[in-house]
Amino acid sequence: MRIGELARRTGVSTRSLRYYEQHGLLRSRRGANGYRQYAEEDVRLVSEIRALLGVGFTLEDTRPFVDCLRSGHDKGGSCPESVAVYQRKLAEMATLIYVADSMSYRTAGLMDDAAHALDPNAPDYQERLVRESIEEYTIEASALKVFGTETLDFVADEALQVLGGYGFTAEYPVERHYRDSRINRIFEGTNEINRLIIPATLLKRVGQGALPFTEFLEKVDREIAEGASWGSEKAGALEREYRAAEVSKRIVAYITRLLVEKSLASLKDKQQHLEILSNMIIEVFAMDSVVARTLALKGHGSESDDQLRLMMTKIYVAATHESVLDGARKLLANEFEGEELRKHLQLEDILPKIPMRTIAAKTKLAEALVAQGLGPVFLR
Ligand SMILES: Cc1cc2nc3c(=O)[nH]c(=O)nc-3n(C[C@H](O)[C@H](O)[C@H](O)COP(=O)(O)OP(=O)(O)OC[C@H]3O[C@@H](n4cnc5c(N)ncnc54)[C@H](O)[C@@H]3O)c2cc1C
């Protein structure tokens, strides 16, 4: 059809149609007579652009919807990249994968280093290998099991949701990932058991004097009393996140000590308390790992990859340090009351506030994810 007919059928002026074309949103071909020719589906495409502009979209904002229609979808809004809510989901999926990846590589590296530090010819090599490069990392391994499998479940679940009904049918591969992912929270030690292992191992080590816990707690007391700031200039753009991870460690230490002092003997039976404490420990390990990794990778690879890693780190820490504090509040409220509770809740004052434009960051992250994938961002 010629441009005049397209204009008549869509109610859009020929001038606007040429403008859309200049911006690559509309494509024509030249007929034998040299006039622009448009396809039947361009009617729907132009109507979609017109409707979106009518509700306040900029011309550029309409591009994902146009691409979506062009790729064969019935509706411009049915592609993940064209829906803001999907952008949030994509950004959160990518962020959690990046965090899980950071925790895994960190732990594997520590285990490797511990193994390489041993003399393979020594008579006690096997025994030390198990003790120093495997058992030593019991807490990290349990944290990884829980965090990794729950990230997988979250990602598989959201991936299915993004595809809607298609996701649910066996024609698409996501339903299989959804079914397969579920077993991971059950075998290799259920996540409930792994959650119990974390605080139990921590307390056992403190009891054995294997961790410098007393010194750490004295330091924590001093720092809380002084309202000290635990920044690190080396953390640069992640200064606040570094501090949030450090403060969260102190909150975990403080709460652990209170629980031990209150009722060490019955603590092992307080599974709901231990579950919350365990989640807090996992979250601290996750924050610490992702901040460390993003700082370690800074300057390796492109500037834009650095920016994406910084964004994922900030998004994760902004949400997670609040979650650690929430766990602390729950445990305190369940154990104390009155003046004593109020005194312990002062702990809240030491946590940095991280106001962050997470919506803008998640949108940018999703756009990068759709445009280029995140392979290079995961640079190791
Ligand atoms: C597909 C598949 C493959 C498997 N492959 C293997 C394999 O190769 N090798 C192997 O050895 N095993 C394998 N298993 C077994 C698997 O490890 C067990 O299913 C798993 O350890 C959980 O044990 P259970 O099924 O007896 O559940 P239960 O122990 O009965 O647990 C039921 C629920 O109660 C919770 N629970 C249990 N005890 C506690 C507690 N003390 N505190 C809090 N919560 C608790 C659990 O977390 C779980 O949610 C496999 C299982 C499946 C389904």
pLDDT at 273: 95
Which sequence positions are flagged as catalytic?
A: 188
Q: Is the CB of 187 under 6 A from ligand 1?
A: yes
Residue 191 alpha carbon, nearest atom of ligand 1: 47
DSSP 62-107: GHHHHHHHHTT-SSGGGSGGG-HHHHHHHHHHHHHHHHHHHHHHHH
Retrieve residue 347's tokens: 């702990």
Q: What is the dihedral sign for C-alpha 366, 367, 370, 373?
A: negative
SS3 of residue 300 by DSSP: coil
Distance of alpha carbon 359 from alpha carbon 364, whole angstroms: 9
Distance of alpha carbon 268 from alpha carbon 200, whole angstroms: 8
- Choice among 32-41, 50-59, 281-290, 354-363 with the minimum mean pLDDT: 50-59
Contact between 177 and 162 (Cβ < 8 Å): no
Residue 81, pLDDT above cutoff 70: no
Residue 380, pLDDT above cutoff 60: no
Higher per-residue pLDDT: 110 or 171: 110
Q: Is the CB of 190 under 6 A from ligand 1?
A: yes
Instruction: Let me know if the fold of 3-79 is the same as that of 191-360.
Output: no
- Choice among 123-132, 200-209, 219-228, 311-320 with the minimum mean pLDDT: 219-228
Alpha carbon of 320 to ligand 1 centroid (Å): 29
**Which residue type, as a one-letter code, is found at position 163?**
L
Overall average pLDDT of the 104-108 stretch: 96
pLDDT at 153: 96
Domain 82-185 is classified in which CATH homologous superfamily?
Answer: Butyryl-CoA Dehydrogenase, subunit A, domain 3 (1.20.140.10)
Overall average pLDDT of the 326-331 stretch: 95
Overall average pLDDT of the 332-355 stretch: 86
Phi-psi region of 9 (alpha: psi -120 to 50; beta: other; left: phi over 0): alpha
DSSP 192-255: HHHHHHHHHHHHHHHHTT-S-HHHHHHHHHHHHHHT-----GGGGGGHHHHHHHHHHHHHHHHH
Q: List beta partners, residue 29.
A: 37
Alpha carbon of 188 to ligand 1 centroid (Å): 8
Distance of alpha carbon 363 from alpha carbon 372, whole angstroms: 14
pLDDT at 119: 97
Q: Say what percent of the chain tops pLDDT 70.
A: 95
Q: Is the CB of 268 under 6 A from ligand 1?
A: no
* Residue whose structure tokens are 């299989």: 176
Retrieve residue 335's tokens: 């154990």
Overall average pLDDT of the 31-55 stretch: 86
Q: Is the CB of 186 under 6 A from ligand 1?
A: yes
Overall average pLDDT of the 122-138 stretch: 97
CA distances from 333 to 261, 327, 342 (A): 16, 10, 9
Alpha carbon of 36 to ligand 1 centroid (Å): 67
Q: Which of 183, 185, 186 to mutate to test the pocket of ligand 1 (most atoms within 8 A of CB)?
A: 186
- Choice among 137-141, 146-150, 229-233, 306-310 with the minimum mean pLDDT: 229-233
Domain boundaries, the chain: 3-79, 82-185, 191-360
SS3 of residue 29 by DSSP: strand
Contact between 33 and 67 (Cβ < 8 Å): no
| pTM value surpassing 0.85 | no
Residue 190 alpha carbon, nearest atom of ligand 1: 47
Contact between 135 and 205 (Cβ < 8 Å): no
pLDDT at 230: 61
- Which residue's alpha carbon is nearest to atom 43 within ligand 1? 192
Q: Say what percent of the chain tops pLDDT 90.
A: 53
CA distances from 217 to 224, 236, 252 (A): 10, 27, 10
SS3 of residue 30 by DSSP: strand
> Who's near 31: CB < 8 A, 6+ residues apart?
37
Q: Report how far Cα 68 is from the mean position of its chain's Cα atoms.
A: 27
| pLDDT band (50, 70, 90) for residue 82 | low
H-type alpha helices, the chain: 3-10, 14-22, 41-54, 63-70, 84-116, 125-133, 138-163, 165-168, 174-182, 191-207, 213-226, 239-267, 271-297, 303-335, 338-345, 358-372
Alpha carbon of 99 to ligand 1 centroid (Å): 26
Distance of alpha carbon 290 from alpha carbon 309, whole angstroms: 9
| pLDDT band (50, 70, 90) for residue 80 | low
> Who's near 243: CB < 8 A, 6+ residues apart?
229, 230, 231, 232, 235, 352
Alpha carbon of 189 to ligand 1 centroid (Å): 6
Higher per-residue pLDDT: 256 or 222: 256
Overall average pLDDT of the 174-195 stretch: 96
pLDDT at 231: 60
pLDDT, averaged across the chain = 88
Q: Which of these, 252, 224, 268, lies nearest to 332 by C-alpha position?
A: 252
Phi-psi region of 353 (alpha: psi -120 to 50; beta: other; left: phi over 0): beta
Residue 182, pLDDT above cutoff 90: yes
Residue 188 alpha carbon, nearest atom of ligand 1: 17
191-360 maps to CATH 3.10.310.10: no
- Choice among 40-44, 172-176, 205-209 with the minimum mean pLDDT: 205-209
Residue 360, pLDDT above cutoff 80: yes
Overall average pLDDT of the 234-256 stretch: 89
Write out the CATH class of domain 3-79: mainly alpha
Distance linking the first and last C-alpha atoms of the chain: 53
Q: Is the CB of 275 under 6 A from ligand 1?
A: no
Distance of alpha carbon 61 from alpha carbon 186, whole angstroms: 44
> Who's near 271: CB < 8 A, 6+ residues apart?
196
Q: Which of 184, 187, 198, 273 to mutate to test the pocket of ligand 1 (most atoms within 8 A of CB)?
A: 187
